Amino acid sequence: MPLVVTPVVVSILLVCQVVITNFVGYRRLKTGIHFLDGGDLVLTRRMRAHGNFTETVPITLIGLLTAELMGAAPAILWIGSGLLLIGRAWHFAVIVTQGWGNGRAMSMVLTFASMVIFAGAIVWRMF
């Protein structure tokens, strides 16, 4: 069975990873801070946005891939992927501009919802 959803979502998130990483690197160049955050709030926020992305996206993509390989319904895969993409973009925007707020919490809810959707699809296909 050829994969359809996972390659599209992975490619989008790979580009996002490059962009987010470059936001951190650009700030490091601009400030001359080469290690940790040097007390720079902008750098701290960018680092946390990057960190949170790298903490949540890989495991979610493993869930997506597993669900797709197990034959989960394409609609479920696209819905979960859409929630993940919206959640990650929203989280980055909120954490970089505000640091904290309801938007950050809601973006994480979307990310966790995608995880639960993929886990549910996997369990459903197992039984």
Distance CA 98, CA 27 (A): 17
* Domain range annotation of the chain: 5-126
Predicted structure pTM score: 0.91
Cα 19 from chain centroid? 12
Q: What is the dihedral of CA 68, 70, 75, 76, to 10 degrees?
A: -90
pLDDT at 68: 97
Please provide the CATH number assigned to the domain covering 5-126. Answer: 1.20.120.550
For 46-62, the pLDDT digits (tens) are 999 999 999 999 999 99
- pLDDT-flagged residues of the chain (< 70): none
